[in-house]
Chains A and B, each alone.
Chain A
Amino acid sequence: MNSPTREEEWAIWLRAAISGDVGAYRRFLEDVTPRLRAMARRRCERYGALANDVEDIVQEVLLAIHLKRGTWDQSRPIGPWISTIVRNKLVDTLRRRGRHVSVPIEDIVDTFEAEEQTDSLERQDVERMLEQLKEHQRDIVRSISIEGTTVRETANRLHMSEGAVRVALHRALKALALRYRSDFT
């Protein structure tokens, strides 16, 4: 049983992230992602013809976790919180892709406990959504997505204040989620 320690680790990382620790947040997201991918792949295999969508779905679910991380009550275990978000988002995103599915919460919990490693893949959805954002939001997201660039470096490069970049980045991510929601409907 390694899941309790994993969840404890996630809780520690996310708690640090919420108070501003970028490194801890990256570790959290990187540790969650392979498990999301396994879940998404299972769903796609079961409901057919969606294999190419796996990585897009992973990114969309990551974005949902990101935007809703403030709803985690830090005095409670992180497992039920993240499983519920992932389940709801998976159902939602598969439905928008034309698949009516049900995802039992136990499946999510089981997959979170399993080990699985696969490579990150290049995907198009997020690029297409980015095209629809305001120009300065797009520039900021692209700039930061270039290997390891921080908010500070981006601020310098674009001649903006760090605070302005932070605000613009956050708004860009919210706008991105909105694009996801409207794009498939």
Chain B
Amino acid sequence: MNTDDFISVLAQDSTVRWPFGRTLAVATASGVAITGLAFFLGVGFRPDIAQALDTGRFLFKFLVTLALATMATGLIWRIARPGIPVGRWNWTLLAAPILLGGAVIVELLVMPESTWMSSLVGTNARHCLTLIPLLAIAPLICLLIALRQGAPARPGIAGAIAGLAASGIAASFYAASCTDDSPLFVATWYPIATVIVVLAGYLAGSRFLKW
């Protein structure tokens, strides 16, 4: 087939019904919705949610997880579309670790040393390590499906960032059920759960996001 004929074939398929931006928006919303549903049906708020809402340490967890979710999702928007400079968006991924690091320092300064170890170990480590990855499955799959319509230069990295966004979403729900609010706990167990999801995203991305 010569190139002119090939162009004729492509031209007949001109219409785009789902521009990438819309696909990604729907995928993100679906991921959040499914995880929300799974959370409210299967996990639920912690029993003392009303009192917890009055404490800064509880609310601070959401600042960290939502920072991760929004920054990583924003980055996906850029890396999946060719020719958009990522620029300083890479650095926004540091927002969550920096917030968390600051909180850890404050905790170490204001709390007596005798409480550190029990705060770090907490009571829900096992839940944290299983529920965050489980709740992240739906958003990760939704984002990967959307990314297949995108054109990321580095498929593995794109998958890993989808994993970051998915863990941010999952952790934002999980944090409402977990009674461990110490930054020492959050800074220990949440990142381990996140690494699991990021790794899964990286492997899936290298495999399924080539174009």
Q: Binary interface profile of A, 112-129, with partner B (CB < 8 Å = 1, else 0)?
A: 000000001111001100
What total of chain A residues lie within 8 Å of the partner, measured CB to CB?
59
Asked if A18 and B19 sit within 8 Å, CB to CB, the answer is yes
Known contacts A72-B81, A145-B8, A147-B8; decide if A88 and B13 are in contact (CB<8 Å). no
A126 and B4 alpha carbons, distance in the complex (Å): 13
Asked if B3 and A84 sit within 8 Å, CB to CB, the answer is no
Asked if B3 and A59 sit within 8 Å, CB to CB, the answer is yes
Asked if A62 and B210 sit within 8 Å, CB to CB, the answer is no
Contacts of B4 on A, CB cut-off 8 Å? 30, 120
A81 and B23 alpha carbons, distance in the complex (Å): 18
Shortest A162–chain B CB gap in Å is 11
Contacts of B47 on A, CB cut-off 8 Å? none
Contacts of B72 on A, CB cut-off 8 Å? none
Q: Which residues in window 142-165 of A have CB below 8 A to B?
A: 144-151
> Could you tell me the dominant secondary structure of chain A's interface residues?
helix
Contacts of A22 on B, CB cut-off 8 Å? 11-12, 14
By size class, the interface of chain B is: 20 to 34
Contacts of B41 on A, CB cut-off 8 Å? none
Q: Binary interface profile of B, 8-29, with partner A (CB < 8 Å = 1, else 0)?
A: 1111111110111101000000
Known contacts A84-B83, A85-B151, A151-B12; decide if A64 and B211 are in contact (CB<8 Å). yes
Quick check: is A4 within 8 A (CB to CB) of the other chain? no
What are 20 A-to-B residue pairs whose CB atoms are below 8 Å? A17-B15, A20-B14, A29-B7, A30-B7, A70-B18, A71-B81, A71-B82, A76-B83, A79-B83, A84-B153, A85-B151, A88-B82, A88-B151, A120-B2, A123-B1, A130-B1, A144-B9, A148-B8, A169-B12, A170-B13
